[in-house]
Amino acid sequence: ILPGEKQEVTFTYDSSQHELGEVRESVRIYCNDPRRKAFSLRVNGYITEKPAPTVSISPVGISFNLTTDSESETIGKFALANSGEEGIKITSIKTSADYLIPLVSEFELNSEEKENLQVILLKDKIPDEIQEGEIKEYLYLTVTIPIVIKR
Asked if the structure places residue 150 within a domain, the reply is: no
Asked if the structure places residue 32 within a domain, the reply is: yes
Residues 75 and 132 grouped into a single domain: yes
Total domains present in the chain: 2
In this prediction, residue 13 carries a pLDDT of 80
Beta pairing, strands 114-121 & 75-82 = antiparallel
Name residue 79's amino acid.
A
| Statement: residue 81 has pLDDT above 90 | yes
Asked if the structure places residue 60 within a domain, the reply is: yes
Asked if the structure places residue 5 within a domain, the reply is: no
Residues 65 and 118 grouped into a single domain: yes
Residues 101 and 135 grouped into a single domain: yes
Mean model confidence pLDDT for the chain: 85
Q: Kindly report the pTM of this predicted structure.
A: 0.61
Asked if the structure places residue 7 within a domain, the reply is: no
Asked if the structure places residue 90 within a domain, the reply is: yes
DSSP letters of 1-64?
--TT----------GGGS-SEEEEEEEEEE---TT-SEEEEEEEEEE-PPPPP-EEEESS----
In this prediction, residue 113 carries a pLDDT of 93
Q: Which residues pair with 65 in a beta bridge?
A: none
Q: What is the CATH number of the domain that holds 104?
A: 2.60.40
| Statement: residue 72 has pLDDT above 70 | no
Q: How confident is the model at residue 1 (pLDDT cuts 50, 70, 90)?
A: confident
Q: How confident is the model at residue 71 (pLDDT cuts 50, 70, 90)?
A: low
Asked if the structure places residue 93 within a domain, the reply is: yes
Domain that holds residue 101: 55-143
Whether 106 contacts 80, CB under 8 Å:
no
